[in-house]
Amino acid sequence: MTALNTGGRLTAPATPKLARRRAPRRRAGLAGYAFVAGYVILLLAFGVFPTLYAVYLAVTNDRGQFTGLGQFIKVIQDYRFGPAFSDILIYLVLWLVILVVLTVVVAVILRSRMRPGLSSVFRFLFYIPGALAGVASVLVWMFMLDPGVSPVSGLLNALGLSTFSEVIAPQSLPVIFVLIAFWTGAGGWIVVMYGALNNIPDEIIEAARMDGAGPWKSAWFIQIPMISKWIAYMTILAFAAGTQLFIEPQLLQSASLGRLNPTWSPNQLAYVLAFQFGDFNGAAAVSIFLLAIGLVGAGILVTRSGLFKADNE
Amino acid sequence: MKSPMVPNSGTSKRRVVRAALAVVSFSVSVAVLAGCASAAQSTATGAGSFTKATQNDKSTITVWTDSTRLPAVQAYQKSHPNTKLNIVTFDGSADGSTYLQTKIQLFDRTGKGWPDVVFASPTDVTWASKPTTPSAQAFAAPMDELVSKSTLDNFAKGSLTPCEYNGHTYCLRNDIAQVVTWYNKSLFDQFGYTVPTTWEQYEALGATVAKEHPGYVLGWVGDSNSQESYFWSSQCPAFDLVKPNTLRVALSDPDCTRMATVLDSMIANKSISTQASNNADFIKDVAPKVLMAVGPSWYGQYIFNGGFKTPAGQIAAANPMTWDGDSTAATGNVGGAVWMVSSHSKNLKAATAVTSWLTTSNANQGGAPTYPAYSPAAKVWLANPANSKYFATDVSGAFTTAANEVWTGWSNTKFSDSTAWSSVVLPALTAGKTLTETLPAWQSAIVDEAKSVGYTVTTK
């Protein structure tokens, strides 16, 4: 989240275009390379190299022979491939819609409809669950979802759920995973959206008010359009993280002693292929599918939202 | 958030996209045209003998055990202080866990790190007896090359079958888990019922209990191994290896549907619970009202004594139930673990000694928590008052009878028989479907799994 650290200024200073284009090339010192070297080396070692290795594995078999698209065709034909990807699709649609709508609405309310002191208390409260590490938060939810021990068992009983196995019925799983993801992840994004709203100059809001825009109108026509790039940014990261869903279904699977499909999500399928069947090549092919989906999703969002376009163009 | 790296003008962007597309389509067509090798995994053939690592009788051996057998391994360490043991606890492959398989796959890839002795499920032997990759050596060492033939011959009849592959024996059986009929003698006496000896009587008793003592149950089907207690006992051909690589999955067989019908009628009148026996609610609300249970020999100590905390002197065991008109009695087997020695071990002598002691010695098996597979030790086990004092009557008759009646048509397959049951059948039961209408879904889940690990499947 480097954007946060740089102060989150989305509105570029009004530098004249021509002047910027013709700026003389500064002589680069070695210091610059030294500064980026640390990151680049780690990126190559733990990001780029593993990706290339996965590509290599995905186009070969376990004897090291070249198979072309064979591995991809093999995993598509696997009976677990379709269900895993449709599970993750349902989850992603639910998760992204809920995330975008709720975080933006909450951020707007915190920014414009609440006293500053109260607003900061809420922001802090929203953020707390996000500070809990992934596995710990899943464990918290296992207690929440087991009517036998849950502090909200009354609520679960009211929904007609009296046992843990009823709660984790297959059709409820996407909702459960969205709940966990929202509870752990949304707080951070509410804070980010709040920061983005802070960047909108007061004069603009004031001008809107003088033109007769009420709070909801100015939110809809001024605030939300002006943070649209932030929303796109959040969607890209949430989309990428969402396709990687693994810990939640995996832990729930073992905690329920196998009452969940062990290949519920594509990442679980890759895991089972690699470590249960020793099919590292097939697993790599599944991961390349996930990579491609992530890249295409990000590409569409970046071009549609103009995320990387400078404002003055 | 400006990025000067991205070309701003539309034309140059289009050019980049076009170039990228060209590169991708070129490489794809090369890939497709190149006459590719098969994407299928290599089929490993089990080589009989194995290459031993350089041996060192003094080296430390690593033993992986489940928590139940941890005290046994610690006892070995105490009585054999000269053998250096590094004891590691893991889930013991319970409930279809693939932890051990996952780790061995990784060790095979890195070429080091294997434990010397592991506790495992019979399912694990199906992969451990073959190399996981073309370059690897099968993890399990052939025990027939490490222990004497007379030792192997002393194991209960058929109990080493899951260990055998290609003429070799790759594991030593720790315990057998023959299914018997458990009942609460105190409650039966109090209610004036007689223990059913046939499944038809069992179903009838269910109807009676539902009417006279609602809330009391005659068993449960919500565990990840309940299919072994019930469908195995019914001789249902769900996992029947007719040839080494041909699996018969025929859940529409009358031997399967008869059990589904009995269970459905008892689930409907609530004399059988669909919950899991380790569920907190079940232990609190249902456990005190368990009249009967169809389950393995370890139910006595583990479920009734350990899980339900049923007071001593109430629980008794009877012979497995039969079907009206069936000549042969048959029962199931739920678990019954094995010990394997790693073929990569640097101290095979110590590893074999530990494994032999754990599986065959009276010192260990005579007081083991589960029924020994090693026949001489089983006699000692049955005579051990610690193993019988909990029960209302002598269980040795039922145990010995059941041990000889385990049906052999439920094979040890390359995949766990609990995955499909737990992830397909149990959620359907929870959702209110009957077993009879879930049999086709269970069937297709097993068939899918079987095909994915390379079995030819017949469904007739």
With a CB cutoff of 8 Å and minimum separation 6, the contacts of B144 are: B152, B168, B169
Chain A contact present for B12, CB below 8 A: no
Given a cut of 50, whether residue A5 has pLDDT beyond it is no
Q: pLDDT at position B99, please?
A: 87
B379/B304 same-domain check: no
Please list every residue in chain A whose beta carbon sits closer than 8 Å to the beta carbon of residue B418: 258
Given a cut of 90, whether residue B448 has pLDDT beyond it is yes
CATH number at residue B183: 3.40.190.10
Q: pLDDT at position B11, please?
A: 53
B146/B121 same-domain check: yes
B285/B367 same-domain check: no
Residue-wise pLDDT for B247-284, tens only, equals 999 999 999 999 999 999 999 999 999 999 988 888 98
In a domain, B255, yes or no: yes
Decide which of A24 and A267 is more confident: A267
Whether B105 sits inside 8 A of A274 (CB atoms) is: yes
Given a cut of 50, whether residue B5 has pLDDT beyond it is no
Given a cut of 80, whether residue A1 has pLDDT beyond it is no
B194/B316 same-domain check: yes
Chain A contact present for B6, CB below 8 A: yes
Q: pLDDT at position B98, please?
A: 82
Whether B1 sits inside 8 A of A59 (CB atoms) is: no
Do B428 and B353 meet the contact criterion of CB atoms below 8 Å apart?
no
Whether B39 sits inside 8 A of A277 (CB atoms) is: no
Whether A62 sits inside 8 A of B132 (CB atoms) is: no
In a domain, B29, yes or no: no
User: Residues B118-124: what's their mean pLDDT?
Assistant: 92
In a domain, B11, yes or no: no
Given a cut of 70, whether residue B158 has pLDDT beyond it is yes
With a CB cutoff of 8 Å and minimum separation 6, the contacts of B341 are: B116, B117, B140, B141, B143, B146, B348, B351, B352, B355
In a domain, B16, yes or no: no
Residue-wise pLDDT for B407-417, tens only, equals 988 998 888 89
B303/B420 same-domain check: yes
Whether B39 sits inside 8 A of A70 (CB atoms) is: yes
In a domain, B448, yes or no: yes
Do A126 and A191 meet the contact criterion of CB atoms below 8 Å apart?
yes
Residue-wise pLDDT for A222-253, tens only, equals 888 989 889 999 999 999 889 999 988 998 88
Given a cut of 80, whether residue B45 has pLDDT beyond it is no
Q: pLDDT at position B93, please?
A: 81
Share of chain B above pLDDT 70, in %: 90
In a domain, B36, yes or no: no
Q: Which of B3, B95, B275 sits opposite A308 (nearest CB)?
A: B3
B298-B299-B300-B306 Cα dihedral, nearest 10 degrees: 100
Please list every residue in chain A whose beta carbon sits closer than 8 Å to the beta carbon of residue B39: 61, 67, 70-71, 73-74, 281-282
User: Residues B26-44: what's their mean pLDDT?
Assistant: 62
Chain A contact present for B67, CB below 8 A: no
B297/B196 same-domain check: yes
Given a cut of 90, whether residue A13 has pLDDT beyond it is no
Tell me the whole-structure pTM to 2 decimals.
0.81
Identify the structural domains of chain A with CATH numbers, from first to last.
79-305 (1.10.3720.10)
Domains in chain B, number:
2
Residue-wise pLDDT for A76-90, tens only, equals 999 999 999 999 999
Confidence band (pLDDT; 50, 70, 90) for B21? low
Given a cut of 60, whether residue A261 has pLDDT beyond it is yes
Share of chain B above pLDDT 90, in %: 63
Q: Which of B133, B281, B431 sits opposite A278 (nearest CB)?
A: B133
Q: Calculate how close chain A gets to B449, using CA atoms only, in Å.
A: 9
Q: Calculate how close chain B gets to A61, using CA atoms only, in Å.
A: 5
B352/B444 same-domain check: no
Please list every residue in chain A whose beta carbon sits closer than 8 Å to the beta carbon of residue B427: 165, 168-170, 259
User: Residues B130-152: what's their mean pLDDT?
Assistant: 88
- The distance between the two most distant Cα atoms of chain B, rounded to a whole number of Å, is 91
The parent domain of residue B78 ranges over 61-176+336-383
B37 to chain A: closest CA residue: A67
B279/B239 same-domain check: yes
Given a cut of 50, whether residue B154 has pLDDT beyond it is yes
Q: pLDDT at position A2, please?
A: 37
Chain A contact present for B42, CB below 8 A: yes
Please list every residue in chain A whose beta carbon sits closer than 8 Å to the beta carbon of residue B431: 169
In a domain, B24, yes or no: no
B238/B297 same-domain check: yes
Q: Which of B6, B41, B419 sits opposite A258 (nearest CB)?
A: B419
Given a cut of 70, whether residue B49 has pLDDT beyond it is no
Give the end of a domain, one of B348, B383, B418.
B383
The CA–CA distances, whole Å, from A96 to A110, A142, A178, A205, B80 equal 21, 23, 9, 28, 60
User: How far is B441 from B7, CA to CA, in rounded Å?
Assistant: 54
B258/B193 same-domain check: yes
Given a cut of 70, whether residue A99 has pLDDT beyond it is yes
Q: What share of chain B is helix, strand, coil (3-state, %, to 5)?
A: 45, 15, 45
Q: Calculate how close chain B gets to A131, using CA atoms only, in Å.
A: 26
Residue-wise pLDDT for B358-402, tens only, equals 999 998 998 888 899 998 999 999 988 888 889 999 999 999 899
In a domain, B20, yes or no: no
Give the end of a domain, one of B350, B383, B416.
B383
The runs of H, that is alpha helices, within chain A are: 2-5, 17-21, 30-43, 49-58, 70-77, 81-112, 116-131, 134-145, 153-158, 164-167, 173-198, 202-210, 215-218, 224-226, 228-243, 247-255, 266-275, 280-305
B172/B102 same-domain check: yes
B294/B414 same-domain check: yes
Give the end of a domain, one of B318, B348, B383.
B383
Residue-wise pLDDT for B220-236, tens only, equals 999 999 999 999 999 99
Decide which of B436 and A222 is more confident: B436
Confidence band (pLDDT; 50, 70, 90) for B1? very low
Confidence band (pLDDT; 50, 70, 90) for B97? confident
A6 to chain B: closest CA residue: B1
User: How far is A292 from B273, CA to CA, in rounded Å?
Assistant: 46
